[in-house]
Amino acid sequence: MWFFPVVCSFILSIPRQDTTRLEERFVDSLHIGRQHHNKVEVSQFRANDGIYVIIKFYARARTRWSLKQRIQFRKGGDIDCEAKISDFNHDGYKDLTCISMEAARGANEVRRLYIYNKEKDRLVYMKNSEHYPNIQYNSYLNCIDAWLVYGGCSTVFLRIRADRLQETATVEVFDGLVTVTKTDKYGKEKVIKEMKCDSLNMTRFKSYKPLIPY
């Protein structure tokens, strides 16, 4: 049976200004959440007072799409959203990320992460996901890892806890020294390994015990 998307106006969501214009739009109804049951629209608008992003998340109701969520945020930086669909928690349901701000260094891509919750049939925003650039699903450890680039670099291993990402371990490479730190559920850190190794400079890791680079 054919079904058609519901088209919604954006005028009420953004300051009413003559110069407001749509800059970017991403639509997926094949992969997000439950395949063919959910749909997401990500739209970026430019207004006189800044750049806004609106995310609309739908569930299929018979032959129509029913709007379940409407998320709006003001974006930092003059860059595209580049929305992507990927499974970040290996539950078989794909999630959403989109670039939300410009990072201080070009190698750091900062994204908002929205995890699909099957029970609620909604997207859950990971409130601290923008603290961790270059996030991706780590199939080796079944977790999320991030890669932070500065004078050195750090690979941070993360678990999803409710609506936040919780650090479990970090591998820092700085000035020829590799430091592995374990973090418990209370946030207490403990260094479990240190070694000199110039060859691992600017390396991202998929495991911290043992140390395995990507």
Asked if pLDDT for residue 78 goes beyond 80, the answer is yes
Q: Sign (positive/negative) of CA torsion 42, 47, 52, 54?
A: negative
**DSSP output for 87-124:** -SSSSSSBEEEEEEE--SSTT--EEEEEEEETTTTEEE
User: Under a CB-based contact definition with an 8 Å cutoff, are residues 97 and 73 in contact?
Assistant: no
Q: What is the mean pLDDT of residues 42-49?
A: 94
* Rg, Å, the chain Cα set: 20
Which residues contact residue 160 at a Cβ distance below 8 angstroms, ignoring those fewer than 6 apart? 88, 89, 115, 126, 144, 166
Q: What is the mean pLDDT of residues 181-207?
A: 95
pTM above 0.85, yes or no: yes
**Residue with the two structure tokens 């079944």:** 142
State residue 12's pLDDT score.
Answer: 36
Which residues contact residue 90 at a Cβ distance below 8 angstroms, ignoring those fewer than 6 apart? 137, 139, 142
**Residue with the two structure tokens 């973090």:** 183
